[in-house]
Amino acid sequence: MDECRKGIDNKPNNNLKGVIQVSTIAEVNNQKQQKETNQETKFHILRKQIAVSSMTKKGLVELYKEGK
């Protein structure tokens, strides 16, 4: 190793702050799929509540209070 590089490589770098998180492509795709699934589930629940409210002639607030 060169003498001029020896001191540079052994110095701790105090300028680094925090942690950098790196995700693989598979992890990113899995996270996107999970978000889409959660969103679809929320929409499905809302559609079901609207359908029940239209059949029972009750509002969504009343159904929410009943726990449906």
pLDDT band at residue 11, thresholds of 50, 70 and 90?
Answer: low
pLDDT score for 5: 56
In the chain, which ranges are continuous DSSP H helix?
3-10, 25-56, 60-66
What average pLDDT score do residues 42-66 get? Answer: 77
Q: How many CA atoms lie within 13 A of 4 on its CB side?
A: 0
Q: What is the mean pLDDT of the chain?
A: 73
Q: Give pLDDT tens digits for 23-36.
A: 788 788 888 888 88
Instruction: Give me the percent of the chain exceeding a pLDDT of 70.
Output: 72
Domain ranges across the chain: 25-68
Contact 65, 54 (CB under 8 A): no
